[in-house]
């Protein structure tokens, strides 16, 4: 039978392991940092335009963010904030790159639910939120999971 001393040692060991996992998972500031996106990813995957069109637009419109250029000058990297700023300022074929909500319509609400535990609901919700944010939507996630899996995955817990 376990005694108080054994449980205390298990708790200490568990906290030590959690700290180690957090160090491996998060950046040095103990905070998750979103990676930067290459100019190819921004052009082809996010804006869905030819990379040459995208590069030409960056040169033609000096008010657009220039991103971070590698030392050898061969690649540009953009933060999500820069991508969203370009989304607000650029138009391709006279069409805005921001997703629009028709006037008078309420915001879209989506729920990921299942009565079975361990079915991947938090993972699906996390990836859905990330995909929507990359598509330019404003996203709010509410985590009703008592284990706060979604909140922890976003670096909030």
* Per-residue model confidence as pLDDT tens digits over 6-25: 899 999 999 999 888 877 76
What is the reported pLDDT for 29?
A: 65
The dihedral sign for the CA sequence 82, 104, 131, 145: positive
| Annotated domain spans of the chain | 37-96, 101-157
Rounded distance between C-alpha atoms, residue 15 and residue 17, angstroms: 5
What is the reported pLDDT for 46?
A: 85
Partner residues linked to 76 by β-bridges: 69
Rounded distance between C-alpha atoms, residue 21 and residue 42, angstroms: 31
The residue whose two tokens read 């050898």 is 72
* Per-residue model confidence as pLDDT tens digits over 28-65: 666 667 889 999 999 998 888 889 988 888 888 889 99
Q: Select from 108, 136, 129 the least CA-distant residue to 48.
A: 136
Q: Name the percent of the chain lying above pLDDT 90.
A: 31
């Amino acid at each position: 039978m376990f005694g108080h001393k054994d449980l205390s040692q298990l708790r200490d060991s568990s906290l030590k392991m959690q700290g180690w996992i957090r160090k491996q998972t998060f950046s040095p500031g103990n905070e998750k940092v979103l990676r930067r996106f290459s100019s190819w990813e921004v052009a082809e995957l996010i804006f869905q335009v030819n990379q040459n069109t995208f590069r030409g637009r960056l040169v033609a419109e000096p008010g657009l963010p220039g991103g971070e250029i590698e030392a050898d000058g061969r690649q540009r990297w953009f933060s999500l904030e820069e991508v969203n700023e370009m989304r607000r300022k650029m138009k391709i074929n006279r069409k805005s790159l921001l997703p629009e909500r028709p006037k008078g319509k309420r915001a879209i609400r989506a729920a990921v639910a299942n009565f079975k535990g361990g079915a991947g609901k938090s993972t699906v919700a996390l990836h859905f939120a990330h995909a929507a944010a990359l598509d330019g939507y404003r996203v709010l996630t509410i985590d009703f999971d008592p284990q706060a899996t979604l909140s922890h995955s976003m670096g909030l817990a």
